[in-house]
Amino acid sequence: MAEQRFWLMKSEPTCYSIDDLARDRRTFWDGVRNYQARNFMRDDMKVGDAILFYHSNADPTGVAGLAKVIKTAYPDHTAWDRQNDHFDPKSTPLEPIWMMVDVAFVEKFPQTVTLQSMKENKSLEGMMVLQRGSRLSVQPVEAKHFQEVVRHGKGAKSPPARTRKAK
């Protein structure tokens, strides 16, 4: 059995929020129109992988809860719908370009783990979402970073920032 992987998936809460996923219990993750993000979903996501559900363009921006992958990648049919915001005339049912996975709700955090608090948490150094210019809507997360965000999301305080020792 493949080892569980960890992901961060971004959604604008005005489009689809953790509360929407809690209500629906499961959904397909459509509309990804970046090749690298698509490749992560298509090539690397497996059933059972854990997801940090990230609210982008929100107040506050950050991780709002957890989800999990319940169906591996398959063609994103919204690319073929001319009425859909995610329509792509180059993608067809015979030659699909874009993929999606199905995800299920796991839990909503009592408070969003804000982007700012994540930036201040030295345990999260190197996390992709914190890197300047990182805009991918689907991105891998290291296990140690996933666990730290979950710990913080469930109410634990971040460790104190490292300070330099005086000479």
Sketch the domain layout of the chain as residue ranges. 6-153
Q: CB within 8 A of 144, min separation 6: which ones? A: 123
Name the strand (E) or helix (H) holding 9.
strand 6-11
Q: Mean pLDDT in the chain?
A: 92
| Sign of CA pseudo-dihedral 5, 108, 14, 96 | positive
Which residue has better confidence, 160 or 113?
A: 113
pLDDT at 1 over 80: no
Is domain 6-153 given the CATH code 3.40.1010.10 in the classification? no
Tokens (6 digits) for 48? 């059972």
pLDDT tens profile 134-162: 889 999 999 999 999 999 999 876 554 44
Q: How far apart are CA 167 and CA 158, in angstroms?
A: 27
Q: How far apart are CA 148 and CA 66, in angstroms?
A: 13
Give residue 161's pLDDT: 47
Give residue 2's pLDDT: 67
Q: What predicted TM-score, i.e. pTM, was given to this entire model? A: 0.90
pLDDT at 131 over 70: yes
DSSP 98-153: -EEEEEEEEEEEEEEEEHHHHHH-GGGTT-GGGSTT---SEEEE-HHHHHHHHHHH
Give residue 155's pLDDT: 87
pLDDT tens profile 50-104: 999 999 999 999 999 999 999 999 999 999 999 999 999 999 999 999 999 999 9
pLDDT at 163 over 70: no
pLDDT tens profile 28-56: 999 999 999 999 999 999 999 999 999 99
Q: How far apart are CA 43 and CA 39, in angstroms?
A: 5
pLDDT tens profile 16-25: 999 999 999 9
